[in-house]
Amino acid sequence: MIMTVNSLAIIGTGIMGMGIAQIAAQAGIQVLLFDAKAGAAEQGRQSLQATLEKLSAKGKFTDEQLQSTLSNLTVIEDIAKIANVDVVVEAIIENLEIKQQLFKQLESIVTAETILATNTSSLAVTAIASDCEHPERVAGFHFFNPVPLMKIVEVIPGISTKSSVVETLTDLAKRMGHLGVVAKDTPGFIVNHGGRAYGTEALKILGEGIASFEDIDRILREGAGFRMGPFELLDLTGIDVSHPVMESIYNQYYFEPRYRPHPLTRQMLTGKKLGRKVGEGFYHYKDGQKSTVGTSQQSSPEASGSKAKFSKTGSDTSNLTVWIGADLAEDKQQLVEYLNANDITIDDNDKPNSDSLILLAIYGDDTTNAAIRYQVNPKQAVAIDMLTDLSKHRTLMPSIVTQDNFVAQAYAIFGRNNKFGKSSDEGSNVAVDATLIAESTGFVAQRVVAMVINLGCDIAMQGIATPKDIDNAVKLGLGYPYGPISWGDELGAERILLILERIYGLTGDPRYRPSPWLQRRAKLGISLFTQQSNFQR
């Protein structure tokens, strides 16, 4: 039975606590604000009032709405005054022992019907409730910062939580303008779990010397459509926040290779290069703005300086010939149209001429192995990533023996804003760039995107949440262009499976092993959202 929530107490009035208080008060709920630190609750309320007044002045809401919201916020100095509230939301430090002590104290104050919720992002709800006399009324209620803008909240039942508590909190989230998604009480829940692939794989690519962190950010922003590059995001979040979460989830899953952190962020944490908050992380910052000068965390010499070297090469493509090898027929057709639109001659012989650029549109492979597979000369070969939108960005990957003149030809064809597609005018007003990377199994975007999708599939297989809730939670909570499940459908599960199988085969690293959820649906040619209808857990 769903309880109608009329009153709510916030314990801990930092950024998260006040964000939750704001959306609750705006929803017409009476909110009591308490903080163990003297004066902190009043300071939090005043800060929120100043923010709301600025928003009101900009016309975001009326003066009547402003006054109504503020009237629903009450600061209390005595925690005993929360005795009769319907729900208590804890938003204090991420320390299990301290949270356990608080929940025991709350039980001695509130009524038997009061729901006790924790905004924990990394601790087990079951562990927090373990010392409570009534763990059945304890649940996770995990919001994301900034709370008013991040329209998602994870509702997490512990091992003893009653279904009515989950239903009440899900309904409360809806009243406050957020989507409540139910998640199992597992490390990272949905969003922090689903977000492990983005940063950890980017760090691994950087550590392998495939590209600089600036180039990795650029490829994933412009080519794959992420709102922020992974290193921009790490700097924004703070290495002191991100690295401990990486280690926590990795350790809690007993060293599952998919969640493996990278030594670089541990080194940066030790060296206090924490990101934007201290003025230096992967990037330098001045007055909060990113500088064009990065830190010393660069990639190997193989990947550095390539763009500068080949961008100075002549851009005359009139005498070039290109032989195309493509894993997918649709990719070959797209490249043929691109080359035709730019008046570039195509070598359509069974085997390429000795002076033709060999262009390989491949998945999950490196250029060397692809050249061997296509039985062509790797000295003439440059691979291109077709997973990304060529009208926005191009990633080119020579082999370790590709001759400079062929790399220069590939850059001349793709490294500037040439005509794209069938129309001679298409894309002509949009600046399009190319990034040259060192050899990698699976490029940059292929590796990162495939890992994001694969991890989403694995979360679905574990039954942590429904595929739909996983998709919505990750998209809203992390700002990805798609949720991982719908992204897999958009790109094609078979293509994602091919990328992972090849990378796994070439590297032997179990982090790349395809999830059985992905494998079965790819092989059956069905949507990744498909659940087994003839089986009940």
Residue 2 DSSP code: P
The answer to whether residue 280 is catalytic is no
Whether the CA torsion 287, 290, 292, 293 is positive or negative: it is: positive
Q: Which of 389, 378, 415 is nearest to 331 (CA)?
A: 389
For the chain, the first-to-last Cα distance in angstroms comes to 23
Residue tagged active-site, from 7, 72, 90, 142: 142
Residues 319-330, buried b or exposed e (16+ Cβ, 10 A)?
ebbbbbbbbbee
Q: At residue 61, what are phi and psi to the nearest 5 degrees?
A: -155, 170
121 is catalytic: yes
Question: What size, in residues, is the chain?
Answer: 537
Q: Give the three-state DSSP class for 248.
A: helix
Q: Is 134 a catalytic residue?
A: no
Counting Cα atoms < 13 Å in the Cβ hemisphere of 27 gives: 22
Torsion of CA 358, 362, 364, 368, to 10 degrees: -10
> Rounded to whole angstroms, what are the CA distances from 159 to 65, 101, 188?
40, 19, 16
Angular region, 402: left φ>0, alpha ψ -120 to 50, beta rest: beta
DSSP line for 359-409: EEE-SS--HHHHHHHHT--GGGEEEE--SS-TTTEEEEEE-TT--HHHHHH
- What are the E-state strand segments in 205-350? 283-286, 289-294, 321-326, 345-346
Q: At what angle do helices 196-207 and 263-270 cross, to 10 degrees?
A: 90
Catalytically annotated residue among 7, 119, 121, 418: 121
Beta-ladder partners of 32: 9, 74
Q: What is d(CA 377, CA 354) in angstroms, rounded to the nearest whole number?
A: 8
Catalytic residue at 439?
Answer: no
Q: Specify the 3-state DSSP secondary structure of 46.
A: helix
Element (H, E) at 446: helix 445-461
Q: Which of 7, 90, 119, 154 is catalytic?
A: 154
DSSP state, residue 131: T
**359 exposed, middle or buried (CB, 10 Å; 0-12, 13-18, 19+)?**
buried
Distance, CA of 48 to chain centre: 29
- What values do phi and psi take at 271, rounded to 5? -85, 5
Show which residues are catalytic.
Answer: 121, 142, 154, 192
